[in-house]
Amino acid sequence: MELSVLIPAHNPRQDSLRRVFDALRGQSVGPRRWELLVVDNASDVPLRGWLDLSWHPHATIVREGQLGVTLARARGFRETTGEVIVVVDDDNVLDGDYLEQVLKVGGMYPHLGSWSGAVRPEFEAGSFHLDGELSHLLTLRDVRKDVWSNDPAHNASTPWGAGLCLRRAVARAYLAELSRNPSRTQLDLKGSRLLYGGDTDIAFAGCRAGFGKGVFACLRLTHLISAERCSLSHLCKVSRGRGYSEVLHHFLDSGLVSASEPVGIRRVWDYARLVLRPRWQRSVALAHLSGQRQATREMAARAAP
């Protein structure tokens, strides 16, 4: 197979998942050229009981009983056979030429190990539409130009989990790192526990294996966003999880705990500016700081002799 499409799913909304598969059925690359693997990640109602994949000649559903996006992805990496794996979340609707463009990018840039593209929103009726400063909390990404790098610290070229593409060699390198350090499985969603970073961990594993990473404007998908995910309480939970994950990821990569910035004029000024921001932005920013501080305390305790 040229491609493997991997869909990890835990208790997915049936209406959203239907649209995900409608988009896959309409791809310009015919289904005989790619395999489809759905990993049922400990869903309360097993997907095999209601999900019909008979339209695809190379489709399989497997069940991963251990909860966690990282574990579901890892199971999919082991079970698939394609030279390039495309990870599609259960609320990602790919543009009709997505898989075609994946193959083009993979052929044109053999030095890249992972890549993704633009993520635009479709808000459920009744949702609060966020301003651009908070849109990153919904994993939205506007890509104006192609960019790539082999520097893990270069954020603009780091692919995101929605529509993530990776070569088989990167999947093998990542699985080896997970085996050596199972704590890396903490870097992503696990049921209602909102932690992040598994997608960047995959890209960074590719960099450590000698590949680059990139983001391309030709790769486009729609992220289906429920009204609940636009609430202030949920966004604060996401922001807190992201703050925690930043410290955790740094600790897992380096073994070092991020040092807290000492109290000074700059820190006082930052807090003063934070207080003057609109309520939504202020609450989200404070939640991010809370997550960072919690992780710093926990990682310091873990590192203590």
CATH number of the domain at 22, please.
3.90.550.10
Same domain, 122 and 208: yes
Q: How far lies 158's CA from each of 15, 31, 77, 169, 272, in Å?
A: 30, 28, 20, 18, 32
The tens digit of pLDDT for each residue in 250-276 reads 888 888 887 655 545 565 555 556 555
Same domain, 118 and 175: yes
User: Locate tokens 């990282």: which residue?
Assistant: 70
Same domain, 209 and 103: yes
Q: Which domain-ending residue is among 229, 250, 269?
A: 229
Same domain, 201 and 249: no
Same domain, 99 and 162: yes
Distance between CA atoms of residues 245 and 237, nearest Å: 12
Same domain, 28 and 117: yes
Rounded to the nearest 10 degrees, what angle do helices 198-208 and 168-180 cross at?
A: 110
User: What letter represents residue 3's amino acid?
Assistant: L
Same domain, 36 and 94: yes
Structure token digits, residue 125: 């009726």
Q: Going by DSSP bridges, is the β-strand pair 112-123/212-225 parallel, antiparallel, or unpaired? A: parallel
Same domain, 241 and 165: no
Same domain, 145 and 292: no
SS3 label, residue 258: coil
Same domain, 135 and 284: no
Mean pLDDT of the chain: 88
Same domain, 175 and 212: yes
SS3 helix, strand, coil % of the chain, rounded to 5? Answer: 45, 20, 35
Q: Is the model's pLDDT at 84 over the cut of 90? A: yes
Structure token digits, residue 10: 């835990």
The tens digit of pLDDT for each residue in 180-220 reads 988 888 887 666 666 778 899 999 999 999 999 999 999 99
DSSP for residue 138: G
Q: Which domain-ending residue is among 167, 197, 229?
A: 229
**Measured in Å, how far apart are the chain's first and last C-alpha atoms?**
49
Cα–Cα–Cα angle for 92, 137, 232, rounded to 5 degrees: 115
pTM given for the model: 0.88
Structure token digits, residue 37: 């693997």
Average pLDDT over residues 75-102: 97
Distance between CA atoms of residues 4 and 76, nearest Å: 9
The answer to whether 37 and 60 have CB atoms below 8 angstroms apart is yes
Same domain, 189 and 239: no
Domain assignment of residue 168, given as a range: 3-229
- pLDDT value, residue 263: 46
Domains: count for the chain: 2
Q: Which domain-ending residue is among 229, 259, 277?
A: 229
User: What letter represents residue 36's amino acid?
Assistant: L
Distance between CA atoms of residues 161 and 163, nearest Å: 6
Distance between CA atoms of residues 208 and 20, nearest Å: 32
Give the number of other CB atoms < 10 A from CB of residue 297.
13
